[in-house]
Amino acid sequence: MFDIGFSEVLLIFGLALVVMMVLRPRGLVSGRTPSVALTGRKAIAADLVAEGRG
């Protein structure tokens, strides 16, 4: 059948990557929504907050 070597496979793979970068610059899954919505700030007790000393 086809007698293609490793360098030809890498060339085809590289060309496919370049085509993908041109046609889909934001990736295959570009319409992603955040899984967690951030809300307003919450007040926490002072004993839960540790003061860092280093």
- pLDDT for 35-54, tens place per residue? 777 777 777 777 777 765 54
Counting DSSP H helices and E strands in the chain, the numbers are 1, 0
Average pLDDT along the chain: 81
Integer Cα distance of 35 and 49 in angstroms: 27
**Greater pLDDT, 7 or 41:** 7
For residue 6, report the phi and psi dihedrals to the nearest 5 degrees: -65, -40
**5 contacts 13 by C-beta, under 8 angstroms:** no
Whole-model pTM: value is 0.50
Q: Is 46 exposed, middle or buried (0-12, 13-18, 19+ CB in 10 A)?
A: exposed
